[in-house]
Structure 1
Amino acid sequence: MTTPVRLSAIDLVTYTPGLAALLVDAVEDGAGVGFLAPLPIDAAAEWWAAQGAEIRSNRTIVWITSDHEGVTGTIRLRLAGMPDSRHRAAVVGLLVHRRARGNGLARELLATAERFAAAAGRSLLTLDAPTGSGAERLYKRAGWIESGAIPAYAADPSGVLRSTTIFHKQLG
C-alpha cells in the first residue's frame, strides 16, 4: 500500500490520465459516483481536468495513491465555505481501483481525509453512499453514523435509480 499524497492543481495535469482510468474502472464496476456507463476515458479526463479550480482555491482537497501501474486510489474532501458551516466538510469521491482492493487502501484514504479535516478545524464530516454497497459497509466499519437513506436519490451506472445512505462523523 502506498501512502496518500495530496494533489496540487499542477500535479493534476500529470495525474489526470491515471485519475480518469480510475474513474472509468469504478463506473465499469458499478460504483455510484455520479456517472453513467459506459464512461468514455476522454469524458473522465475532462471531468478531472475541470477539478483544477476547486483544488487551486483549496475548496476541494484531493489525495491519491499510486503504484508502478498507475493511480490506485483517490479521495476528495470538499470544505464548506459559508460562515455558518466552516466547521464541516464533505468526503466525496473515494475510489480504489479494482486491482488494488483488499489491502486497506480505502480505509487509509478515508483516515487521511479525516486527519486533515480535524487538523483544519473541521469537527463534522458528511458523506453519502449507495445503500447496500461495499462503500456503505466500509463507512460503518470506520465509525461513521448513518443519518438516514433517501430513496431513488441517484442513478447507478446502468441508469437505475437507487437509494442513497447519508452518513456523518464527529471529529475530535
Structure 2
Amino acid sequence: MIDYILFSASQAQQQMESLSGLLQACVADGASVGFTDAADREAIRHFWQQRIPGLAAGDSQLFVACQQETILGTVMINYSAMPNGRHRAEISKLLVHPQARRQGIARTLMQCAEQRARAEGKTLLVLDTRSGDVARDLYRSLDWQVAGEIPFYAESTAGVLDATTLMYKVLV
C-alpha cells in the first residue's frame, strides 16, 4: 500500500537523504527537473535543504508518496508571496522513482496537491514541463490547459536545450 503524506519541514529534514536519492534517480533517468548532473549529489541535497525554510513558513508544501517508509514520489505546491498572486500556486518537483512508475503515483500526488491548494483557497495552479514529455499527457488527463511553449528553455541531462510547455488549471 502506498501512503500519501503531507510532509512537515522537520519530516523533510529527517528524510533529506531519501529525498535526495529520489531526485538523483530521476535526474539519472533523464528527468528535466532543474539538474543536469545526477552525480552532483551536493547540489541535489542543497536543493532540498533550501526548501526547508519555505516548508516551515508555509510558503510551500510537500506531498510524499511512501511505501513501507521508502519514498517513491513527491510533489510541491509553492504559494505566491506577492499580494496580487495570493490566489495562485505553482506545482513543482513532481517526481516518481523510475522503478515505481506506471502505478498511478504521479496522478495521485497531483490530485493531493490540487485538493490541498483548493483547501487553501487557491483558484489557479501553474506549472511547466519539458515539451514532449509523458508528464504533459498526465497533466492534460487531469484537465490542465496549455498556455504556451518557450523554446530552448532548459538544458537536458544530454546537454540539449529543450522547450518547455507552460500549463495552468483553474480550480473551481
Scaled to the shorter chain, the TM-score interval is: over 0.9
Q: Tell whether the 8 Å contact from 1:37 to 1:158 is kept in structure 2 after alignment.
A: no
1:3, CA displacement in angstroms? Answer: 2.8
Q: Deviations over 1:3-57 (max 9, x none)?
A: 3111111111211111101000110111110001233333322221221111111
Q: Which residue of 1 aligns with 2:113?
A: 113
TM-score (norm: length of structure 2): 0.95
Residue identity over aligned pairs, in percent, reads 35
Secondary structure of the residue aligned to 1:4 is strand
Q: Which residue of 2 aligns with 1:76?
A: 76
1:39 and 1:128 mapped to 2: Cα distance? 24
Are 1:126 and 2:123 matched, yes or no? no
Secondary structure of the residue aligned to 1:54 is helix
Q: Tell whether the 8 Å contact from 2:61 to 2:78 is kept in structure 1 after alignment.
A: yes
Are 1:104 and 2:116 matched, yes or no? no
Aligned length, in residue pairs: 172
Q: Tell whether the 8 Å contact from 2:154 to 2:164 is kept in structure 1 after alignment.
A: yes
Read off the aligned partner of 1:158 and give its amino acid letter. Answer: A
| Moved >4 Å (runs of 4+) | none
1:89 and 1:49 mapped to 2: Cα distance? 21
RMSD of the alignment, in Å? 1.2
Read off the aligned partner of 1:64 and give its amino acid letter. Answer: V
Q: Tell whether the 8 Å contact from 2:147 to 2:167 is kept in structure 1 after alignment.
A: yes
TM-score (norm: length of structure 1): 0.95
Q: Deviations over 1:64-104 (max 9, x none)?
A: 11123721000000001211110100001100001111110
Read off the aligned partner of 1:153 and give its amino acid letter. Answer: Y
Q: Tell whether the 8 Å contact from 2:131 to 2:163 is kept in structure 1 after alignment.
A: yes
